Amino acid sequence: MEEPLNLVLFSGTDDKLNAAAVLTAGAAALGRPVNVFLQYWALEAFRSDRIEADHGLAPEAGVAGREAVDALRAAGQASWAETLRQAKELGGVDIEACSLSMDLLHLEPGDLDPLVDGVEGVTAFYLAAGGGPVVFI
């Protein structure tokens, strides 16, 4: 069985989350398992009351980057949350919240969007990761 792709999402801005969602969807399209581990500000972006909100962009985007991202969205680009939903429909995508970040942000499982499958610690994440690459975004 192919080793999974393992994405640790730390940043909570829409551009980085979108990049992560596209990487997830591409791997899922090839039938490769994907484990997504949500930490810090990425986890906060998955709160069910905020997931569709504007989460800003990475500082390097600047004004021109903001305009480019807005233009693509206006042209019909799917949100990162929608891309992740599509990826999960394909199967093999597991999204887990980091338990430490849950404590940090005072979150309960019920506060999170249904895209999130559960809460686990870093050891469980590494065990699921097996020998596959770990990518930090």
Three-state SS at 52: coil
- Does position 90 interact with another protein (CB under 8 A)? The reply is yes
Q: What are the distances in angstroms from CA 31 to CA 23, 26, 87, 89, 113?
A: 13, 9, 10, 12, 24
- Does position 71 interact with another protein (CB under 8 A)? The reply is no
- Does position 25 interact with another protein (CB under 8 A)? The reply is yes
Backbone φ, ψ for residue 123 (5° rounding): -65, -45
| Beta carbon of residue 124, minimum distance to another protein (angstroms, whole number) | 28
Q: What are the distances in angstroms from CA 89 to CA 11, 13, 28?
A: 24, 24, 9
- Does position 100 interact with another protein (CB under 8 A)? The reply is no
**Interacting stretch for another protein, rule CB under 8 A, among 3-11, 80-88, 97-105, 111-119?**
80-88
Interacting residues toward another protein by CB under 8 A: 22, 25-26, 29-31, 72, 75-78, 83, 86-87, 89-90
